[in-house]
Structure 1
C-alpha cells in the first residue's frame, strides 16, 4: 500500500489515513511466519492439562480460577488462560492476520508451526504413539485452504539427552517430510518467580545433550532453541560442537525484565534493566560470531520482557512497541546481517500485548531504513532457507 503520492513509505496522516505504512508489495509475494503455535484442548494429544480442563469444565469462571490455581510465573508468562484453554488453529490464526495486508501490502504466505504449548520436561516423554499423533494432528489442520496460509514446515519438540531420542525422531520423520528440526525449551531463570521451561540448569552445555545432538545433526535437521538471555553462551557451545547444523535462537534471546519488573526481583530498577540489556548485547554479539546461528525476531511482545501483567494488554500503541524493541532489533540486524535474521509472530502467546498487525508494523518501522534487501530477507527469504521451505 503506497500513499497518494505513490511513494513506498510515508506518514499517511498527510494522506488522510492514520499511521506509517511500508509496503512489501513488489518485494515479496507474502510473509513467512516462522513461529506459530497450534493446539486444541480436545484434540492435541499432549495438551489436556490443568488449564484447558479448568476452562472446558467451567468456561465462565476459567479466568478467575486461573489466578488462583496457577503460579505467578505462569500468570506472568501467559497473562490470560484463554491462550491455552481454547483452541488455536488455522481459523483463529487467519482471523488474527486478516489485517496484515492493510499494514504492509502482502498477506502471510506460509507458516512454520510447532506442537502444543504445554512444556515437556526433560525427565518425561510422551509415548511413541503420541509423538506421531502430534505430527498427525498438525498435518490434519486446514492450512492452505480458504484464507489460511500454507504449511511451510514443522518443528517437533525433543530432548537429545533422553534414551530413544533418535528412534522417536525417525518415527516422526516417517510421517511427514515437512519436519525440519527439533524445538528445545531449555529456559531456566535464577529468579524463582520466572517460569522455567526445563528442570536442568545448563542443559545445553551438558555432555549428554551435546552427545545427543548427534541424532539431530546426523539427520540434517535444525535445532531451534529457547533460552533466556543469561543462558545464551550455552547456545555457543552447541553451535561450535555442530558447526554444520543450523541453530535457531527464538525470541531475540529473550532478555527477561528488560522493560520492567518480572518475577520476584528481575528488572525492578532502571539500573537493573540497563544491565540486562548490556549483557544481552554482549552475548548476542558473541553469538553472531558463529555463522550457523540464526536469530528469530519473535516474541517481541512476550510478557516476560517486562511489559506488565494486565491480562488485557500492556503495550497499547505501535509506536510504543517500536520504541522499545527497535534498539534490540537494530543490534541483531547489525551483527548478524539480514541473511541470518527472520520474522516470527509467536502467536498466540504474544497476542494479549499486541495485535499481529502491530508487531508487523513495528518491525517495518524499524527495518525500513535498512532497505529492500533487509525487508525481503527478514520477512521471507531467510526463513525459506533456514527451514528449507519449498524443498
Structure 2
C-alpha cells in the first residue's frame, strides 16, 4: 500500500489534532486514522497485572508500517509480554501491506500474506510463548458481488489456514468529522445488493464477517444478520457508541439509543460482540487529554455501562474482550487495558471469565487452542 500523502488532521477551527492520516490508493482513497503513541506519557502510569495467570486471546489488533505510524511484530510482542497471560492473538485488517501491483481486487491479499508471515514467525516459539496472528481477519471487497469468489479463494490460500474472517468496514456518518473526509464506506452499504451477493459467499468458505460500524448503524447489521442466519458475524468495538460531533455531551442519549439497538441485535444467534475499542476518539472519552494516562479503575468505571449491557444481552459465550491495539495505545497501555477488562469481569465466575477472555475468541475464530476450550 503506497502512501500518496501524509499530514495532520485538523479540527473545524483549523487546529492540529494528534492524529496522523495517510492517503492511499486502491480502488479509491482511504484515510485510516492513527493516533500518535506517546510512550513517555504512557510510562507515567503502570500497574501490576490483575489475575496474571488468566488465559487471554486478544482477538483484535493491527500491524502497520507507515511514516509517522509504525506498529510491527516486535512492537506487538513487547506489549504481549507485559505481564498478562496472552496465549494468542487475531490480526485484524487495517489496509496494510497491500500488493503494489496486479489486479486491484487481489491487492488486499498482500495484507493477509503479511499477517500470515507474522503468524509463522510467532509459531516458531523464538519470540515467546504467545502465538501472535494465530488467526487473521482479512479484507476483500464484498461489493464485487458474485465475482468475489475468486478473491476469497485467493485470500484463503494466502492465509495458509490462518484466515478466519473478512472485515469490510462500513462505518459511515453524514458528518465528515466522524467518518473522515474520504471514507470508503457509503450510506446503507450493508443493504447494497452487490455487497450482499459478496457477503453470501462467506459461508461457503467457512469465513466469519467482522463488522465495524457506528451505533447509528446497528439496526442495519441486525437486518443483515437476520437475512443470513448461517453466516457468523462479529460486531467490533461494542458497536462504536459515538461521542463526538453532534453526539458530544449526549452520553445518556447515545447510551439509551445504543442499548435499544444492541437488544435487537442480540436476538440474532449468529452474532457475537467484541468488548473494546471504546478508547477511540470517536467514542468521545478524551482519554488523551489528561496529564496522566487513565487508570484501570477509571476505565472500568466509564466503560462498564457498555460492557455490562453487552454481556447481559449476548452472554459470555458470545462476548470477547479485545485490545484494538495500537489504535487504543494512543490512550492507554496494554497492561492497564487488560486490568480494566478484568475489573469489569470481576463479578463473573471462572467459567464465564474463561469465555470472555479466551474461550469465545477461540471458538468463533476456530483457533483450536486446547487450553481455551470450554
Is the shorter-chain TM-score for this pair beyond 0.5, marking a shared fold? yes
- Residue 277 (structure 2) aligned to one of 282, 296, 299: 299
Structure 2 residue runs without a partner (length 5+): 1-45, 370-374
- Residue 157 (structure 1) aligned to one of 132, 139, 164: 139
**Aligned residues, how many?**
312
- Please list, as runs of the form range in 1=range in 2, the aligned pairs for 1:168-183 lying within 5 A after superposition: 168-175=151-158, 176-183=160-167
**Against the structure 1 CA distance between its residues 128 and 233, is the aligned structure 2 distance closer, same or farther, given a 3 Å change threshold?**
closer
- Residue 249 (structure 1) aligned to one of 222, 235, 251: 235
List structure 1 segments (4+ residues) > 6 angstroms apart after TM superposition. 18-21, 311-314
Structure-1 separation of matches of 2:283 and 2:96: 20
Residue in structure 1 matched with residue 82 of structure 2 by the alignment: 99
Structure-2 separation of matches of 1:118 and 1:89: 11
**Against the structure 1 CA distance between its residues 283 and 126, is the aligned structure 2 distance closer, same or farther, given a 3 Å change threshold?**
farther
Are residues 1:39 and 2:20 paired?
no
Larger Rg: 1
**Against the structure 1 CA distance between its residues 184 and 290, is the aligned structure 2 distance closer, same or farther, given a 3 Å change threshold?**
same
Structure-2 separation of matches of 1:231 and 1:274: 18
8 A Cα contact 2:296 2:339, kept in partner = yes
Deviations 1:324-376 (A, max 9, x none): 00111110111100000012110000001111111111111111112112210
What is the TM-score normalised by the length of structure 2?
Answer: 0.77
Higher strand share: 2
- 2:185 aligned counterpart, secondary structure: coil
Cα RMSD (Å) of the superposition?
Answer: 2.5
Deviations 1:75-100 (A, max 9, x none): xxxxxxxxxx22x1221012123223
- Residue 334 (structure 2) aligned to one of 356, 366, 378: 356
Which stretch shifts more, 344-353 or 149-158? 149-158
- Residue 130 (structure 1) aligned to one of 104, 107, 112: 107
Are residues 1:228 and 2:214 paired?
yes
**Against the structure 1 CA distance between its residues 194 and 147, is the aligned structure 2 distance closer, same or farther, given a 3 Å change threshold?**
same
Instruction: Compute the displacement of 1:184 (Å).
Output: 1.7
- Please list, as runs of the form range in 1=range in 2, the aligned pairs for 1:18-29 lying within 5 A after superposition: 22-23=50-51, 25=53
Structure-1 separation of matches of 2:291 and 2:234: 28
What is the TM-score normalised by the length of structure 1?
Answer: 0.74
- 2:94 aligned counterpart, secondary structure: coil
Instruction: Compute the displacement of 1:128 (Å).
Output: 5.0
Structure-1 separation of matches of 2:127 and 2:291: 30
